[in-house]
Amino acid sequence: MAGTSRGNREPRQQRGARTTASELERYVSRGSNRAFVVVALFMAIAVVFFVRLLYLQVIIAPQYAAQAEESRTVGFVVEPRRGTIYDRNGHILAISVDATTIYANPSEITEPDATSRAIAEALGGKASDYVGALTSSGSPTFSFVKRKADVSAAERLRALELPGIYFLADTRREYPYGQTGGQVIGACSIEVDEEENREYYVGICGLEMFYNTILSGTAGYYEAEVGANGTPIPGGVHESTPAVEGQDIVISLDIEFQEDLERDLKNGLKAVDVKSGTAVVMDFTNGEIYAAASSPFFNPGNRTEVPEGSMQLKCATNLFEPGSIFKTVSATAILEKETMTPDTKVKCPSYIEADGYTVSDAWERGDEVMDLRTIIKKSSNVGISLSVEKNLGFGDLYDAIIDYRLNTLTGVDYPGEQLGYLLDFDHWSRVTGYNVTFGQGISVNALQMLCFYGALMNDGVSQTPHFLLRKPQTGEVPTWDTHEIIKNKKALEPMLSMLRSVVSEQDGTGKNAAIEGYDLAGKTSTAEIYDEENGGYRDSVYNIAFTGFIENSNSPFVCFCGADEVPADRNVTVMFHDIMQDVIERYNIVSTE
């Protein structure tokens, strides 16, 4: 038994080895768990870094890249060259000339006070005008110093080689003829778009305004990388969209004749002792305006002083009661109806009464009999009132005014044309009818009257007054509406003969308009001025005018001239004479009789 018991026991050495193996197995198992934890921890850290790297390099990398690029990128709008305006003979009236825009890199400027003084010496102005641009906090690398500077002044500045000052090619608007034609041509102002850091020209009056869209063109854009010193990196342009230049236009003005007309207008106004007035000359066969001006004049190239109202061309933008030049309208309507001829006589008392008002002529006279020619020649208010009342009727006069387009805009290509006042016929009283026959109680603009008088010489056809002749780049020639306003052509010759009498006969009101060897024809007016503040008409002050043409000649021109708020009984026939004398000499007008 004892032997058996010993036989069941393992040797000590073998038992010890087995224990060691078990312990080793347990040790290895514990070590493997530790290794796994280490590996897992390492993998987790790696994943965090990977996700962070993915976030930085993939998800927000474009944002950081954009920010970095923005910090070294300069971008600005490239302004197009504005179109040139030419007169009918090719003379330049408005042009965009080379200029230089100057900008700074404030980060390079260590002495802004000294730099601003140097800039002021080269460009003009005070040093304080430029300090802000040199110390700009908005952008440390880009700030405009002066836009559209004179090229020679910019070159003086460039020669100083000031650190941080740079230059860009640009354009500036100039008007070679200054005041001459200024109201027609108009002017531009520099608009500012702070969001796009842009300054650009916009027409603010005249044809610069009316044709702004085609003159202005389309802006481009330039964006480039710059180095640490703010200068463009060669080959670093990101975006460059070229500007589309504005179109040129050719207009109907003859700038040399325009100069003559402005001189005649100035002298004519001086002769009647006022400073405000208007003169226009138009080709009645096609509506082309050869010259037009208002006083006070306007110089688009020098706007240090701009008199009130000088930026407007009054023949389109101002309304007035036309007075006796409207008697031609009344007489034409009568002649169209064929109820009178120039020789038809009318009993004309010294005055007539209606609705508590008295209508009389501008000169004292007794009762007399006048024919229609004398009524027009001597400008009788009583005579034309009774002629219309008895031989046309106020209702037909109203219809004629509408048919003659005297209550319709002419359609002139000029900003701000005004439509006049015409009381609806249902509200006319008898005295209203009388007043309208001689151009009171109704308002028009001067171009409307010019078009009507032009139709008398153009077989009853009225042309749209206009300035634009063509667009040279595209070859486009615009067409303009025509209107047959006088249907009965039998009325034309007798009306023209009566207007000749106004000038040619010694008792005609327009005799001072006569030019030897030519048949000038037209009508004077001395119109009362409505008192806007107090109602009624102002005392002892008038708007005076003359509208006419050269008959029996090769002249295609009709002319309106007028003076505003004249303090006594005067006329502008001498002004008309001088303008038409210039027409005769410049355009070789010859009599055909």
What does the block give as tokens for 233? 């990196």
Tens of pLDDT along 221-267? 766 665 555 555 555 555 578 878 999 999 999 999 999 999 999 99
Q: Is the pLDDT of residue 22 over 90?
A: no
Q: Is the pLDDT of residue 436 over 90?
A: yes
Please say whether the beta carbons of 530 and 420 come within 8 A. Answer: no
Q: Please give the mean pLDDT across all residues of the chain.
A: 88
Please say whether the beta carbons of 210 and 233 come within 8 A. Answer: no
Question: CB 309: neighbour CB atoms within 10 A?
Answer: 15
Q: What is the mean pLDDT of residues 167-171?
A: 81
What superfamily does domain 73-251 belong to in CATH? Penicillin-binding protein 2a (Domain 2) (3.90.1310.10)
The pLDDT score that the predictor gives to residue 17 is: 47
- Cα 187 to the center of its chain, rounded Å: 7
pLDDT confidence bin for 136, thresholds 50/70/90: low
Cα separation, 103 vs 167, whole angstroms: 6
pLDDT confidence bin for 556, thresholds 50/70/90: very high
How far from 321 is each of 134, 326, 530, 541, CA to CA, in Å?
A: 58, 9, 8, 13
Q: What's the whole-model pTM score?
A: 0.81
Cα separation, 205 vs 209, whole angstroms: 5
Task: Point out the least confidently predicted range of 50-59, 60-69, 420-429.
Answer: 60-69
Please say whether the beta carbons of 461 and 482 come within 8 A. Answer: yes
| Pure H helices in 55-97 | 61-71
Tens of pLDDT along 357-370? 999 998 899 999 99
Please say whether the beta carbons of 173 and 188 come within 8 A. Answer: yes
Cα separation, 306 vs 298, whole angstroms: 7
Q: Considering only CA atoms, give the Rg of the chain.
A: 43
Residue type for position 292: A
Question: CB 95: neighbour CB atoms within 10 A?
Answer: 18
The pLDDT score that the predictor gives to residue 6 is: 44
Q: What is the mean pLDDT of residues 52-62?
A: 61
- 3 state SS of 78: strand
The pLDDT score that the predictor gives to residue 134 is: 87
Residues near 559 by Cβ (< 8 Å), separated by ≥ 6?
279, 280, 281, 282, 450, 522, 546, 547, 548, 549, 576, 579, 580, 583
Q: What is the mean pLDDT of residues 153-172?
A: 88
**Taking the domain 255-298+313-586, which CATH number applies?**
3.40.710.10
pLDDT confidence bin for 141, thresholds 50/70/90: confident
The pLDDT score that the predictor gives to residue 9 is: 47
The pLDDT score that the predictor gives to residue 7 is: 45
The pLDDT score that the predictor gives to residue 413 is: 98
Task: Point out the least confidently predicted range of 155-169, 306-320, 350-364, 384-398.
Answer: 155-169
Domain ranges for the chain: 2-59, 73-251, 255-298+313-586
The pLDDT score that the predictor gives to residue 12 is: 45
Tens of pLDDT along 187-209? 998 887 767 666 778 999 999 99
Q: What is the mean pLDDT of residues 270-294?
A: 97
Query: Any idea what DSSP says for residue 58?
Result: I
Cα separation, 395 vs 408, whole angstroms: 18
pLDDT confidence bin for 99, thresholds 50/70/90: confident
List phi, psi (to 5°) of 446: -65, -30
